[in-house]
Amino acid sequence: MHSIGQIILDNRGAVLDAWLERLPGGAAGARPATFQLLKIELGMLVDKLVAYFNAGDHDLGGPLFKPVEDQAATISAACARDGLTPLETATLIMSLKTITRDLLDREVGGDRDGMRIGVDAVVDRLALVTFAAFVETREDIIQRQGRALLDMATPALPIWRHIILMPLVGIIDTQRARQVMEWLLEALAREEAHIAILDVTGVPLIDSRVALHLTKTVEAARLLGSQVIVTGISPDAAQTLVKLDVDLSSMITRGTLQVGLAEAFRLLAQRNQGMSGSPF
């Protein structure tokens, strides 16, 4: 009498083909790259399953099952990256139940010695592992995209000697506000800038929280001896800020970036005039 491990091993090719047939959209429907990748990875999963079944110690929490779980997690992560839905991914793993059931029916004429229960328990466990890995991968992707977006959205550009421009685009939450302040101060020091223009044209809404962060940033820059010009507050936002009674009198504000730049040149000229006569 063959063991379940041996039966699967003897029919490795058939099991794998049946499995690939069950890819979302069928073997023919899957993208070639995905198909090739999954063929290899599912093959490795079959091998690791065989090794686990043959080892004899059927403990799902034990060290022998770990390689199987890891392999399932790898497959799930690959599916998540390739844009398969969680349902498709879980269905793919769960389809192993039907495949082994068919296999057992064919090879030993039905269930023997609780083989099927053993396999079902393994597949159930793998489905859970797969789901967890899938979510984890997606979370990871989302987090990385978030960071990439954050980096992209806040450049500090030296646009003239002693003048830097920081256009803010998008939603300013606490984390982003903190980062804007950090980067602006860093850029001021790095570029030896006297003036920073903070353009908020791309910021959809300025509430008291954002206003607070703007004020703090302006204040911190002032401590470095630099001036900040805030440009691009929309007429809608201006009327709202007045009603909120946010005190922005400590900042230089200009309607548009263009006017802000003119103001920056004026301030720079003023500074240089003050310098004339000094050895610097």
Partner 1 sequence: MKPEPDRLDVRVTSEMDVVEARQKARLLALRHGFGTVRAHGIATAVSELGMNLVLHTARGGLIHLTAQGEAGAAVVEVVAEDEGPGIPDIALAMQDGYSTRGGLGCGLPGTRRLMDEFAITSEVGRGTRIVCAMRRP
Q: Closer to partner 1 by CB, 208 or 272: give it.
A: 208
Q: Closer to partner 1 by CB, 163 or 206: give it.
A: 206
**What's the closest the beta carbon of residue 205 comes to partner 1, in angstroms?**
6
| Binding positions for partner 1, rule: CB under 8 A | 171, 173-174, 205-209, 211-212, 215, 234-237, 239-240, 243-247
Q: What residue ranges in 141-216 does DSSP mark as E strands?
A: 157-160, 163-169, 195-202
Distance between CA atoms of residues 41 and 30, nearest Å = 15
**What's the closest the beta carbon of residue 98 comes to partner 1, in angstroms?**
40
Nearest to residue 133, comparing CAs of 89, 95, 83, 94? 89
Q: Closer to partner 1 by CB, 187 or 206: give it.
A: 206
Give residues with Cβ within 8 angstroms of 198, minimum separation 6: 166, 168, 180, 184, 214, 217, 228, 229, 230, 231
- What spatial distance separates the first Cα and last Cα of the chain, rounded to whole Å? 96
C-beta separation of 213 from 181 below 8 A: yes
**What's the closest the beta carbon of residue 174 comes to partner 1, in angstroms?**
6
Q: Closer to partner 1 by CB, 128 or 244: give it.
A: 244
**What's the closest the beta carbon of residue 215 comes to partner 1, in angstroms?**
8
Look up residue 259 and give its amino acid. V
**What's the closest the beta carbon of residue 241 comes to partner 1, in angstroms?**
8
Q: Closer to partner 1 by CB, 109 or 235: give it.
A: 235
C-beta separation of 187 from 156 below 8 A: yes
For 208-224, give the DSSP string. HHHHHHHHHHHHHHHHT
Indicate the DSSP class of residue 64: T
Q: Closer to partner 1 by CB, 108 or 211: give it.
A: 211
Structure tokens at 155: 């450049």
**What's the closest the beta carbon of residue 203 comes to partner 1, in angstroms?**
12
